[in-house]
Amino acid sequence: MTEDKSHPEHLLRECAPGAAGGPAAQPPAARVEPLESLSDDDVPMVIATRFLEAFRQPGCPMCFLGQQALDDYFSHWVWDYVSDADLREAMRRGLGMCAEHTWQLLHTDVREYGETFGVSIIYQELVAHTIRLMERVALEAQAREAQRPSRLERLRHWLSRRSAARRWFLPARWRGSPLLKAAECHVCAYRAESERRSTYWLVQVLRHAENRTRYAASDGLCLPHLRAALELALEIEPGVARFLAASAGQHLEALAADLDRYIAKRAWDRRHEAMTAGEQEAAQRASRFFGGLDGWSAERKRLDSI
């Protein structure tokens, strides 16, 4: 009996040109390969090329692809925001985004367009929405203040305030006002989905020996992405898991040796010994391995940016 290894259909969105985890808000016109036309040997050329390009970049290839996907995402929606009702709704539901993506959006606008017109439009509406929200919260607070309770009700309120103050320090039990609820950052949600797709394709790409050679010459995956790839590969492609673990082991052996030498050469009696570049960079390499690439870079340009 042959194992069914055909690609899950939703992953085939990645086949569409430009769908590099392309912008969720404005998906490119998809030319999706029919599921049955892909055997488990097929990695769409556009996907394979993208990974081979990522293997040539410094740092974790998955971090690199993730950064590209987010750059695309932000660049598109700075332009599309006004006409994209879903996006505006996502911003209202989330009351903006997480701190990381809030700043990434601003920096992307400045870097790519040299100004902040797009981001100004985005916040013009969100600020107006938040003003209305604050008005509703103020009304709610006013209504609570205006209550003139009986003695028994005052006791009840005192107990309920004391209980709320205690729950505040136990976040799992805290139930906040529905008025102030906000959805998860929609860019974080997009990134998580995009990373799942990329992880799947990475495992497929690494089934091929020539791609493994290219991967082995790269800096390798950071630990968060390595763990995700190993989780999946252990289940669907144990050979890829073995390769990834062995390759990471080799990188880590070299890193361990450089860390040891760097620390040893900081000793008083060896302080005049020259450091190699690898030794000097050891702490940065360790940080990149455990933390991945820094999320945003002023130097990075989208490939198709104007």
Residues found near Zn ion in the complex (CB under 5 A): 60, 62-63, 98, 101, 185, 187-188, 222, 225, 292
In the complex with Zn ion, the residue whose CB is nearer, 7 or 288, is: 288
For the bound state, the minimum distance from the C-beta of residue 98 to Zn ion, rounded and expressed in Å, comes to 3
Report DSSP state, residue 83. G
In the complex with Zn ion, the residue whose CB is nearer, 16 or 240, is: 240
Q: Which residues contact 100 (CB under 8 A, 6 or more apart)?
A: 295
Residue 193: exposure state from Cβ atoms within 10 A (0-12, 13-18, ≥19): middle
For the bound state, the minimum distance from the C-beta of residue 222 to Zn ion, rounded and expressed in Å, comes to 3
For the bound state, the minimum distance from the C-beta of residue 3 to Zn ion, rounded and expressed in Å, comes to 29
Alpha-carbon torsion, ordered 167, 171, 177, 181, to 10 deg: 180
In the complex with Zn ion, the residue whose CB is nearer, 182 or 303, is: 182
In the complex with Zn ion, the residue whose CB is nearer, 149 or 249, is: 249
For the bound state, the minimum distance from the C-beta of residue 188 to Zn ion, rounded and expressed in Å, comes to 3
For the bound state, the minimum distance from the C-beta of residue 45 to Zn ion, rounded and expressed in Å, comes to 24
In the complex with Zn ion, the residue whose CB is nearer, 111 or 186, is: 186
- For residues 84 and 24, give the distance between their C-alpha atoms in angstroms, rounded to a whole number: 11
In the complex with Zn ion, the residue whose CB is nearer, 30 or 245, is: 245
CA distances from 71 to 61, 237, 244, 283 (A): 15, 31, 27, 27
In the complex with Zn ion, the residue whose CB is nearer, 50 or 225, is: 225
Task: Select from 263, 283, 281, 282 the least CA-distant residue to 273.
Answer: 263
- The answer to whether 233 and 240 have CB atoms below 8 angstroms apart is yes
In the complex with Zn ion, the residue whose CB is nearer, 161 or 227, is: 227
DSSP codes, 53-79: HHHTSSS-HHHHHHHHHHHHHHHHHHH
DSSP codes, 156-214: HHHHHHHHHHHHHTSGGG----GGG--PPPHHHHHHHHHHHHHHHHHHHHTTSHHHHHH
For the bound state, the minimum distance from the C-beta of residue 221 to Zn ion, rounded and expressed in Å, comes to 6
For the bound state, the minimum distance from the C-beta of residue 189 to Zn ion, rounded and expressed in Å, comes to 8
- For residues 180 and 291, give the distance between their C-alpha atoms in angstroms, rounded to a whole number: 32
Distance of CA 215 to the CA centre of its chain: 21
Alpha-carbon torsion, ordered 194, 200, 206, 207, to 10 deg: -160
For the bound state, the minimum distance from the C-beta of residue 184 to Zn ion, rounded and expressed in Å, comes to 8
